[in-house]
Amino acid sequence: MASERYNAPVREKHWQKVWDDQGTFQTNDKSKKPKRYQLEMFPYPSGRIHMGHVRCYTLGDVMARYKRAKGFNVLHPMGWDAFGLPAENAAMERKVHPRKWTYENIDTMRGQLKAMGLSIDWSREFATCNPEYYQHQQRLFLDFFKKKLAYRKTAKVNWDPVENTVLANEQVIDGRGWRSGAVVEQRDLTQWFFKITEYAEELLQALDTLQATWPDFVCTQQRNWIGKSTGANMKFALEGGKLPKKLQTLEVFTTRHDTIFGASFMAISAEHPLAAHLAQKNKELAEFIEECRKIGTSEEALAKAEKKGFDTGIVAVHPFKDGVQLPVYVANFIVMGYGTGAIFGCPGHDQRDLDFARKYARPVVPVVLPPGAQADAFSIGAEAYVGEGTMINSEFLNGLTIEAAKDKIAGLLEERGIGERKVNYRMRDWLLSRQRYWGCPIPVIHCPTDGIVPVPIEALPVQLPEDVTFDKPGNPLDHHPTWKHVKCPKCGEPAVRETDTMDTFVDSSWYQFRYTAPNAATPTDKKALKYWAPIDQYIGGKEHAVLHLLYARFFTRGMKATKHVDFDEPFTSMFTQGIVVHETYRSENGDWLTPDEVKIEGDGPNRRATSIATGRPVEIGDIEKMSKSRKNVVDPDDIIAHYGADTARLFIVSDSPPDRDIIWTDAGVAGASRQVQRISRLIDEVAEKQPGKLGPKPATFGPEAHALRRAAHKTLHSVGQNIEGLRYNVAVAQLYELTHALSAAQSQRGEGLDWAIREAAEMLVQMIGPMLPHLAEDCWERLGYNTLLADQSWPQTEPALLVDDRITIAVQVNGKRRDELTIARTASKEEIEAAALKLETVARALDGRSATRVIVVPQRIVNVVG
RNA sequence: GCGGACGUGGUGGAAUCGGUAGACACACAGGACUUAAAAUCCUGAGGGGGCGACCCCGUGCGGGUUCGAGUCCCGCCGUCCGCACCA
């Protein structure tokens, strides 16, 4: 039996059934062990799992299994982010109901995930499209509504013309819909919003704490997105035309109120009410505004567009300098959505203002003097001065620092009632309405007399109707003949349901808590949450750095305000995994080919690809993220069926650090498969020579046995640390080293060596458990155990074996390595120095000079300087 | 433009504190086994020089700090990511 190949696909099915039958991974809520909540972002049930899923869930599963072995009570659940547009597209294209399509996909993908051998507690599984789930989401929405965290307003919204729905700001990337890629249009609509801005400051502040356990780039991106700027609002009186009272003052936001004496013009957005008012009687202005609007849609064009202004003839009165009037321009670079949609221009200290001032011949007066510069010799050329300095040309501010000047102006503004200190955020409220069918209905009713009436909690869930059609554009819920017509819960008169559904990001903003009590009658269960929450480690894709992770952070705060949770941050530590990439292949006529349609020969510069079907040459293209459009995909099912899940898992965790992109290659998979066989063979050899369990430990060990034991225990120690730190690739390398040491020991003889080999083999099996769970289980059985490896605790190290009696340290002469020295670990500095100086290699390198200085770092290095 | 991350052999990568650079693996070359192949095992290998013990160079480039720098500091170059007329 020793040389038989390990039949992974067969054995893996066996072990999966055993785990399933025994309920090995069912989580016990009543355990006394310390808890560990390990979570990976749940998948959208698009049809089949892809390698990105395999990577994400493997990374999480290694940690979950490791923590389990380390004595933690682990919660490692799985579910489905099941609402969303693709289901409706399938309904339109294939005449299949979104529900049917979704649940069928879930069945397929659940089977695929189970074939990966994940240590998931499947009893907690749910899909967000289950009414049992979304009824609680509707409850949360109503609680948010009561707290005014959900509200309705008319606003310019991003309209995705392909998805036929609105999008939140976060979902517009480079002016295009994040999913459809369609150029987004601006429309005025009344929509539901979550008041995420209420928590802007908190969400920002808490990042300082998260920084320690979250990736830097995620924190940075969230900071940028929140976009805090501290400044002041300032009101200017307007003159030079007949204006309605409301428009006689112009309020601007500035972060440089210190530079007010350098102001030389005002600029307002083309969408500013004042611009609209003036345009009524000014045809040229109206044309200018129209021109701005045309450019205004795409940010790309906006960035390239030349700065242009239109002098309205209106002037603003300088609030601190008598007799100074500042002309008011409508300008194409002022956005209405930020601040007040109006600025004062100080060309001396803002590049954009300077460009504008030069173009329209406005004065440029420096008001901040750089350190060391002479006031009378300092002027502004082509570049604005934005650095530190002291105030000049600024009357009562002269001589102050920028900060002191800001403070003084802000005080005066507040004293005179013409402004105040003001903090602005770039972040807008979260637009959650979607004009779609396959989403969670927003549980409110519009009554002609009572206005917006929440659906009573006992009437939840507001269920989606089954009988919908997708044959005309727009929202099927709106077209439905009866669904929306209801009686007002307040007055009983005819009313209509809200037909908007929620953004699917709402579904994924709180699912992490639902797993802790998936059957609770309320959205969360206090007791379960107290034990399990928050998530100890969350793993997912980089693309959610702002979207999902920011929403979930907000939602947790909203749930705290509505007493559903009692903490602020959902994810204690966050890990973003890299993507799976693969070469692309293109035939002569430009069609993409899948990897299995292509035959590769040669290597290096001689590497050639040909089409299997036609025999014609194929161009090997860039290495890109696996995608259906490029056809550079490898189906996990094929890999699992051919090599087994353990091989796929091993490939995923070897070589590439988990946060970097990983290049999927056939050669790499074959290599991983060889390692699986190698380990299997090695364990067979050990089990054959020494059948039965590990016997009693011998009293003494010879040098060979001692060396192997040291290697095994050291590996145990550092593999544990490397798994904890998600350096799985390093852990795998160390396991290979132990495998080599164990192989080599097989052909040696020595006192206690058989026992040491047995011990090392068992440790190896236990250490590969998190990564290669099926193989480990199989080997454990072969080693004579009838217990499950999955139930074994992580082996203990013998601390004495982690330190060597004698160690080898490098010997340098003038910083260059010349030799090495094996010496007692406890050797003193003097002993090391003496031993080093005795070395012939040292004397030769000194070349006749004498040592002037010897640096000794015990247990590390000795450096002779001479 | 601003912000962040990164840059190590043919390739993926390792080096946790400033202390033997290149662990481990892929690919490659040579060898063993075999009628042959597959599979497996063994050996070799950063670059250059020398018959050789050995010597020189080497972590994107240029400086610096240090007994000692892949690691720290300054200045460049390059790649990737995010944000971008944000007042």
Closest protein residue to B25 using CA and C1' atoms? A655
Q: Going along A790-833, which residue ranges are E strands?
A: 806-813, 816-824
Which residue has its C-alpha nearest to nucleotide B26's C1'? A668
Closest CA to A310 of A264, A278, A344: A278
pLDDT at A299 over 60: no
d(CA A372, CA A744) in angstroms, rounded, equals: 72
Closest CA to A234 of A273, A266, A282: A266
The mean pLDDT of A709-732, rounded to a whole number, is 94
Query: Is strand B less than 7 A from the beta carbon of A860?
Result: yes
What value does the mean pLDDT take over residues A590-618? 81
Q: Residue A195 carries which side chain, given as an amino acid letter?
A: K
Measured between alpha carbons, how far is A759 from A695 in angstroms, rounded to an integer? Answer: 9
CA–CA gap between residue A770 and residue A317 (Å, rounded): 72
Q: Which of residues 367-386 of A touch strand B (CB under 7 A)?
A: none
Amino acid type, A853: R
Note whether A202 and A275 are within 8 A (CB): no
Angle between helices A666-689 and A753-768 (to 10 degrees): 140
pLDDT tens, A771-792? 999 999 999 999 999 999 999 9
Section A469-489 average pLDDT = 90
Q: Please report, rounded to whole angstroms, the spatial distance between the CA atom of protein residue A816 and the C1' atom of nucleotide B43.
A: 30
DSSP assignment letter at A129: T
Position A2 pLDDT exceeds 60? no
Predicted local distance difference test score (pLDDT) of residue A1: 38
Is residue A299's beta carbon less than 7 angstroms from any atom in nucleic acid strand B? yes
Exposed/middle/buried for A673, CB within 10 Å: 0-12, 13-18, 19+?
Answer: buried
C1'-nearest nucleotide to the CA of A678: B40
What is the Cα–Cα distance from A460 to A725, expressed in whole angstroms? 44
> Mean pLDDT across the stretch A21-47?
94
Query: What is the pLDDT, as a whole number, of residue A689?
Result: 86
Give residue A759's pLDDT band: very low, low, confident or very high (50, 70, 90). very high
**Where on strand B do bases come within 7 A of a protein Cβ?**
3-5, 10, 12-16, 19-21, 23-28, 39-42, 55-56, 67-69, 81-87
Q: Which residues of A651-660 are buried (b: 16+ CB within 10 A; e: fewer)?
A: bbbbbbebee
Q: Is the model more confident about A132 or about A813?
A: A132
Asked whether residue A806's C-beta has any atom of DNA/RNA strand B within 7 A, the reply is no
d(C-alpha A649, C-alpha A854), whole Å? 50
CA-to-C1' distance for A69 and B21, Å? 35
Spatial distance between the Cα atoms of A540 and A485, rounded to a whole number of angstroms? 41
Per-residue pLDDT at A298 exceeds 80:
no
CA distances from A35 to A537, A551, A721 (A): 12, 25, 19
Only one residue has tokens 């013009």, namely: A265
Q: What is the rounded distance in angstroms from the CA atom of residue A393 to the CA atom of residue A438?
A: 63
A750 contacts A702 by C-beta, under 8 angstroms: yes
> What residue has its CA nearest to the C1' of B81?
A217
pLDDT score at A371: 82
Is strand B in 7 Å reach of the CB of A859? no
Residue A198 tokens, joined: 């209420």
Amino acid at A516: T
Strand B interface, A 587-606, C-beta < 7 A: 603-604
State mean pLDDT over A319-327: 93
Q: Please provide the average confidence, as pLDDT, over all residues in chain A.
A: 90
Pairing of strands A73-75, A35-40: parallel
ipTM of the modeled complex: 0.93
Report CA(A816)–C1'(B58) in Å, whole number.
Answer: 13
Nucleotide nearest to A296 (CA to C1'): B85
**Which of A332 and A509 is assigned the larger pLDDT?**
A509
What is the distance between the alpha carbons of residues A474 and A163, in angstroms, rounded to a whole number?
A: 9
A614: left (phi over 0), alpha (psi -120 to 50) or beta: alpha
Q: At what angle do helices A645-653 and A728-746 cross, to 10 degrees?
A: 110
Strand B at less than 7 A from CB of A230: no
- Which nucleotide is nearest to A343 if distance is taken from CA to C1'? B87
d(C-alpha A541, C-alpha A391), whole Å: 48
Whether nucleic acid strand B comes within 7 Å of the CB of A865, the answer is yes
Q: Is the CB of A359 under 7 A from strand B?
A: no
Identify each DSSP E strand in A181-308 by its residue range: 185-194, 228-239, 249-254, 265-268
Task: Name the residue with the least CA to C1' distance from nucleotide B83.
Answer: A224
Strand B close to A861 by CB, under 7 A = yes
Q: Does the structure show a pLDDT above 90 at A216?
A: no
CA–C1' A214–B7 (A): 23
Beta strands in A240-281 (DSSP E): 249-254, 265-268
Which residue is associated with the tokens 């030079």? Answer: A240
- Nucleotide minimizing C1' to CA distance for residue A718: B16
pLDDT-above-90 percentage for chain A:
62
**Can you give the pTM of this predicted structure?**
0.92
Q: Pull the structure tokens for residue A425.
A: 């955020």
Let me know: does A809 contact A719? Beta carbons within 8 Å.
no
Angstrom CA distances, A93 to A98, A470, A473, A536, stand at 11, 10, 13, 42
Which residues does A767 contact at the CB level (< 8 Å), separation at least 6? A715, A716, A719, A735, A738, A795
Nearest nt to A817, CA vs C1'? B20
Residue matched to tokens 């008001």: A367
Q: What does the pLDDT read at residue A748?
A: 85
Residue pair A145/A444 in contact (Cβ under 8 Å)? The answer is yes
Q: Which nucleotide is nearest, taking the CA of residue A225 and each C1'?
A: B83
Using the structure block, give the residue that is written with the tokens 């059609």: A469
Q: CB under 8 Å to A58, separation ≥6 — which residues?
A: A116, A648, A649, A652, A653
Instruction: Give the nearest nucleotide to A815, CA to C1'.
Output: B68
Residue nearest to nucleotide B69 (CA to C1'): A815
Chain A window 408-447, residues with Cβ within 7 A of nucleic strand B: 424, 426
| Angstrom distance (rounded) from CA A736 to CA A730 | 10
A13 Cβ contact list (under 8 Å, min separation 6): none
Q: How far is it, in rounded angstroms, from Cα A536 to Cα A542?
A: 18
**A845 CA – B43 C1', rounded, Å:** 32
Please give residues of chain A from 253 to 282 whose alpha-adjacent beta carbon (CB) lies under 7 Å from any atom of strand B. 253-256, 269
Residue A653 in tokens: 């965790």
